[in-house]
């Protein structure tokens, strides 16, 4: 009888005392008589906000880092969205925007989990990926991870191309003028010879024209280029000779201290020498020639006939030959007409023959002849050089002035004798 009663109780319990797991989204403590307790009580209830309750949960579990739950009765927490981070037991992600200097992909657990790497920065909140981290701009550096702004300017004597993480980068040391082939991962380097890099340089600056930059790591130019030389750009020495960054001062020019472009010798001068350092090294145009343009290495040409060119003459035809003189091609000054000639016009390249009856002595003014009558006792044919060149023959004498032929001399009168020039 006792055995029968025990068997009957087990069968009744099997049919009327079913035992099951607490439903997802709820928690059931000991003594709970339902899988979905509708109200929070000692025996269980709906899963609270900031927690999750899987199937068969006895106690609510707090949302793990990187998740959140704004609702009651959830079996799982939601993944924290990109641009935010979610601490444990989060009920909302909005109070936790990703801070500056960082980025937060989906499921970020804490604010500083994903810092921008060194050489980069992020000045905004709610970054979602590494793409939100900007490379440190040229001329600046970012020396740590998680920066919201660049650390500072690149050091003098160095250049920072992009994403530099030190103010003195050394991963690129072969920058040359016009070089655009920096390695993709290069952040900068030490300033090279022929360049200078002030503080905050994003690339080396070619040495300023007229100056040279000697040695590496220059923050400023070294000094002016030497006189007698010129420095165009990027010169490494005070006397460059490569013809690219500079060279010795060429003919027809002069180069004082700090010359970028050689100065042209002025009009009226020339120079066939190199290495001139001052305008005084340009020689005056050779006498008898003219130097019409600047920068000449030799005179332009000989002075034209009928004109004369003193030393340093700039243009042809500026100085007309004067009366009483003649000027052949290449004359440095008017040439006085020789005895026996005269010239009463300007701008002539020859002299006229002195007319009969007159004499033209070079010791006198030869701009005319009429003042120089042949004296009594003498005769003056064409081209007579001086007053007493031709005396009346022996036995004759002069009978007035301006005689031009010996036949014009008269015989000596009776009782007289006429001997010697002039009768």
**What is the 3 state secondary structure string of 131-169?**
HHCEECCCCEECCCCCCCCCCEECCCCEEECCCCCCCCC
The confidence score (pLDDT) of residue 9 equals 40
Distances, alpha carbon 237 to alpha carbons 70, 225, 232, 284, 306, in Å: 73, 8, 12, 32, 52
Beta-carbon contacts of 121 under 8 Å, excluding residues fewer than 6 positions away, are 101, 133, 134, 136, 142, 147, 148, 149, 150
The CA distance from 256 to 91, in Å, is: 79
Contact 336, 307 (CB under 8 A): no
The series of mean pLDDT values per 10 residues for the chain, 423 residues long, is 43 44 87 63 86 92 96 95 97 98 98 97 97 97 97 97 95 49 73 96 96 96 97 96 97 98 98 97 97 98 98 97 97 98 97 98 96 96 97 90 94 75 55
CATH 2.10.50.10 assigned to 22-91: yes
The CA distance from 391 to 394, in Å, is: 9
**SS3 of 212, please?**
strand
The CA distance from 278 to 227, in Å, is: 8
The CA distance from 78 to 266, in Å, is: 86
Per-residue burial over 27-58, b = 16 or more CB atoms within 10 Å of its CB, e = otherwise: bbeeebeeeebeeeeeebbbbbbbbbbeeebe
Taking the CB of residue 220, how many other CB atoms lie within 10 A of it?
15
Contact 311, 286 (CB under 8 A): yes
Q: What is the dihedral of CA 376, 379, 383, 386, to 10 degrees?
A: -40
DSSP 12-58: HHHHH----PPPTTEEE-TT---SS-SS-BTTEEEPPTTEE--TTBS
The confidence score (pLDDT) of residue 183 equals 52
Strand partners, 211: 224
Task: Dihedral sign for Cα 90, 96, 99, 103, please.
Answer: positive
The confidence score (pLDDT) of residue 301 equals 98
The CA distance from 359 to 383, in Å, is: 7
Residue tagged 């034209």 (tokens): 304
For the entire predicted model, the pTM comes to 0.69
Burial (CB count <10 Å: 0-12, 13-18, 19+), residue 417: exposed
What token pair was written down for 260?
């970028």
């Amino acid at each position: 009888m006792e055995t029968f009663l025990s068997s009957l109780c087990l069968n009744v319990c099997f049919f009327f005392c079913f035992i099951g797991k607490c439903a997802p989204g709820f928690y059931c403590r000991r003594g709970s008589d339902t899988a979905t307790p509708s109200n929070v009580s000692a025996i269980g209830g709906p899963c609270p906000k900031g927690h999750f309750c899987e199937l068969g949960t006895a106690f609510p579990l707090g949302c793990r880092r990187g998740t959140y739950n704004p609702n009651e009765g959830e079996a799982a927490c939601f993944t924290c969205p990109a641009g935010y981070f979610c601490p444990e037991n989060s009920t909302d992600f909005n109070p936790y925007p990703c801070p500056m200097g960082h980025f937060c992909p989906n499921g970020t657990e804490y604010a500083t989990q994903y810092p921008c790497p060194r050489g980069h920065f992020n000045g905004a909140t709610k970054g979602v990926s590494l793409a939100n981290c900007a490379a440190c701009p040229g001329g600046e550096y970012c020396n740590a991870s998680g920066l919201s702004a660049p650390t500072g300017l690149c050091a003098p004597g160095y250049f920072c191309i992009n994403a530099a993480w030190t103010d003195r980068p050394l991963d690129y040391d072969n920058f040359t003028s016009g070089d655009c082939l920096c390695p993709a991962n290069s952040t900068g380097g030490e300033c090279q010879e022929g360049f200078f890099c002030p503080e905050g340089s994003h690339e080396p600056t070619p040495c300023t024209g007229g100056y040279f930059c000697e040695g590496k790591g220059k923050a400023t130019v070294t000094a002016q280029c030497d006189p007698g030389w010129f420095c165009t750009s990027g010169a490494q020495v005070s006397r460059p000779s490569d013809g690219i960054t500079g060279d010795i001062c060429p003919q027809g020019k002069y180069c004082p201290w700090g010359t970028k472009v050689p100065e042209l010798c002025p009009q009226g001068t020339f120079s066939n020498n190199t290495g001139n350092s001052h305008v005084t090294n340009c020689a005056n145009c050779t006498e008898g020639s003219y130097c019409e343009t600047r920068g000449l290495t030799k005179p332009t040409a000989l002075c034209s006939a009928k004109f004369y060119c003193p030393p340093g003459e700039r243009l042809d035809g500026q100085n007309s030959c004067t009366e009483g003189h003649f000027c052949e091609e290449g004359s440095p000054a008017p040439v006085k007409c020789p005895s026996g000639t005269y010239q009463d016009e300007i701008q002539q390249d020859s002299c006229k023959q002195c007319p009969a009856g007159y004499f033209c002595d070079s010791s006198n003014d030869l701009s005319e002849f009429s003042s120089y009558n042949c004296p009594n006792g003498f005769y003056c044919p064409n081209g007579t050089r001086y007053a007493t060149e031709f005396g009346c023959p022996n036995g004759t004498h002069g009978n007035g002035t301006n005689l031009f032929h010996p036949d014009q001399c008269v015989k000596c009168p009776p009782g007289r004798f006429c001997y010697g020039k002039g009768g």
